[in-house]
Amino acid sequence: KQEVTQIPAALSVPEGENLVLNCSFTDSAIYNLQWFRQDPGKGLTSLLLIQSSQREQTSGRLNASLDKSSGRSTLYIAASQPGDSATYLCALMGMNTGFQKLVFGTGTRLLVSP
């Protein structure tokens, strides 16, 4: 069974810091991995999608990497801002979990203080 774990569970940093969020998974047979942002009480906003054949994706201050062999993905946030405060979820679409079904990680709650 695919298990997705995110470390740390919570993170508090001052504004301006660069930070890394980690996502690990147990089954490397995946179609893709996606990072989402969730604000309190809200739905999900897709940040970056990495296909199985790719190693990283970048969007603005965000960079996500994927290492299937080690079962890991990282989300790098440069020059963090208070507006980045949210919960970040990684989710993957696995070859053994059903097409288009997403398995979500446990999430990292980020607080960026001014």
Partner 1 sequence: GAVVSQHPSWVICKSGTSVKIECRSLDFQATTMFWYRQFPKQSLMLMATSNEGSKATYEQGVEKDKFLINHASLTLSTLTVTSAHPEDSSFYICSATGGPGNTIYFGEGSWLTVV
Residues of the shown chain interacting with partner 1 in the complex, contacts defined by CB under 8 A? 36, 41-44, 46, 89, 91, 98, 100-107, 109
User: Would you say 32 and 93 are in contact if contact means Cβ atoms under 8 Å apart?
Assistant: yes
Q: Which position has the token pair 């989710």?
A: 91
Please report how close the Cβ of residue 6 comes to partner 1 at its closest, in angstroms. Answer: 8
Of 13 and 44, the one with the shorter C-beta distance to partner 1 is 44
**What is the phi/psi pair of residue 57, to 5°?**
-140, 145
CB of 34 to partner 1, least distance (A): 8
Of the candidates 29, 28, 108, the one whose C-alpha atom is nearest the C-alpha of residue 76 is 108
Is the Cβ of residue 65 or residue 87 nearer to partner 1 in the bound state? 87
Residue 104's DSSP bridge partners are: 91
Rg (CA), the chain: 14
Minimum distance, C-beta of residue 106 to partner 1, in the bound complex (Å): 5
Quote the least distance from Cβ 62 to partner 1, whole Å: 18
State which residue, 61 or 101, has the beta carbon closest to partner 1.
Answer: 101
Instruction: Tell me whether residue 10 or residue 29 sits nearer to partner 1 (CB atom).
Output: 10
CA atoms in the 13 A half-sphere facing the CB of 104: 11
